[in-house]
Amino acid sequence: MNPLQHIMSPESIAIVGASNNPTKMGTIQYLQLIHSGFTGEVFPVHPKEKVVFGKKAYANISDLPYAPDLAILVVPTKLIPSMIEDFGKLGTRHAVIISAGFKETGKIGHKLEGEVVEIAKRYGMRFLGPNCLGIINTQLPLNVTVMPVQTYNGKLGLASQSGTYVSQTLPYLYKRGIAFSKAISVGNAANIDIVDCLEYLGQDDATKAICLYIESIKRPDQFLNVAREISRHKPIVAQYVGGTEAGARSGSSHTGAMAGPDYIYDGLFAQAGVIRVRTVEELYAVGWTLATQPPLKGPRIAVLTNSGGPGTAIADTCSRQGLSTPEFSHELQEAVRPFIPGHASPRNPVDLTFHMDMKGMTEHIPEVLFGSDEIDGIIIHGIMDTGFAEIVYPMFKDLVKVSLEEFKKSMEIDLEKLVNMPEKKKKPLLISSFFGIEDNAIRSFHKHGIPTFDSPEKTAYAMSALYKYFLIQKRLHGKPGISPVPDKAKKLIAGIDAKNIDECKAKQILAACGIPVTNEVLVHTYEEACAGAKKIGYPVALKVCSPEILHKTERGLVKLNIQDEDALKRAYDSIQKKEKNTPMLVCEMLKGDRELIAGMSYFPGFPPCILLGIGGIFAEVLKDTTFRLAPLSQADALSMVDGLSSKALLGAYRGMKPVDKNAIASILVKLGDLAMNFPQIKEIDLNPIIIVNGKPKVADALFVMED
The domains of the chain, with CATH numbers, are 4-290 (3.40.50.261), 293-474 (3.40.50.261), 519-589 (3.30.1490.20), 594-705 (3.30.470.20)
Find, among 161, 165, 188, 160, the residue nearest to 104 by Cα: 188
CA distance 231 to 221: 15
Q: Please report the sign of the dihedral spanned by the C-alpha atoms of residue 633, residue 637, residue 639, residue 640.
A: positive
How many CB atoms neighbour CB 332 within 10 A?
23
Give the pLDDT confidence score for residue 97 in this predicted structure: 97
Could you tell me whether strands 94-97 and 126-128 are parallel, antiparallel, or unpaired per DSSP bridges?
parallel
* 8 Å CB contact between 131 and 255: yes
* 8 Å CB contact between 303 and 379: yes
Find, among 545, 539, 593, the residue nearest to 563 by Cα: 539
What is the residue-averaged pLDDT of the chain?
Answer: 92
Q: How large a percentage of the chain has pLDDT more than 70?
A: 96
Average pLDDT of the residues in 315-340: 96
* Cα 137 versus chain centre, distance: 24
Q: Report residue 150's pLDDT band, with 50, 70 and 90 as the boundaries.
A: confident
CA distance 105 to 128: 18
Find, among 509, 496, 192, the residue nearest to 201 by Cα: 192
Give the pLDDT confidence score for residue 495 in this predicted structure: 79
Angle of the 262-272 helix axis to the 220-230 helix axis, nearest 10:
30
* 8 Å CB contact between 670 and 634: no
CA distance 144 to 135: 5
Q: Report residue 257's pLDDT band, with 50, 70 and 90 as the boundaries.
A: very low
Residue 247 has pLDDT above 60, yes or no: no
Residue-level length of the chain? 707
Amino acid identity for residue 280 in this structure: V
* Cα 121 versus chain centre, distance: 31
CA distance 49 to 58: 8
Residue 331 has pLDDT above 50, yes or no: yes
Residue pLDDT, tens place only, 510-531: 999 999 999 999 999 999 999 9
Find, among 555, 506, 545, the residue nearest to 684 by Cα: 506
Residue pLDDT, tens place only, 353-406: 876 678 889 999 999 999 999 999 999 999 999 988 889 888 887 777 888 898
Q: What is the pTM for the complete model shown?
A: 0.91
Phi, psi of 7 (to 5 degrees): -65, -40
At 200, is the secondary structure helix, strand, or coil?
Answer: helix
Residue 499 has pLDDT above 90, yes or no: no
The top-scoring range by mean pLDDT among 482-486, 496-500, 570-574, 646-650 is 570-574
* 8 Å CB contact between 510 and 517: yes
CA distance 43 to 304: 55
Give the pLDDT confidence score for residue 245 in this predicted structure: 58
Residue 649 has pLDDT above 90, yes or no: no
Residue pLDDT, tens place only, 435-493: 999 999 999 999 999 999 999 999 999 999 999 999 999 875 667 888 888 999 899 88
CA distance 410 to 390: 11
Residue 555 has pLDDT above 90, yes or no: no
Amino acid identity for residue 335 in this structure: A
Residue pLDDT, tens place only, 596-615: 999 999 998 899 999 999 98
Residue-wise DSSP of 398-447: HHH---HHHHHHHH----HHHHHHHHHHT--EEEE-S--TTSHHHHHHHH
List the beta bridge partners of residue 214: 240
Q: Please report the sign of the dihedral spanned by the C-alpha atoms of residue 71, residue 76, residue 78, residue 82.
A: negative
Phi, psi of 575 (to 5 degrees): -70, -40
Q: Which residues of 154-180 are buried (b: 16+ CB within 10 A; e: fewer)?
A: bbbbbbbbbbebbbebbeebbebbbbb
Q: Report residue 246's pLDDT band, with 50, 70 and 90 as the boundaries.
A: very low
Phi, psi of 211 (to 5 degrees): -115, 140
Q: Please report the sign of the dihedral spanned by the C-alpha atoms of residue 562, residue 563, residue 565, residue 567.
A: negative
- Rounded to the nearest 5 percent, the helix, strand and coil shares of the chain are 40, 20, 40
Find, among 26, 1, 15, 13, the residue nearest to 140 by Cα: 13
Average pLDDT of the residues in 146-171: 94
Q: Report residue 287's pLDDT band, with 50, 70 and 90 as the boundaries.
A: very high
Residue 500 has pLDDT above 80, yes or no: no
CA distance 153 to 140: 9
Residue 351 has pLDDT above 80, yes or no: yes
Residue 682 has pLDDT above 70, yes or no: yes
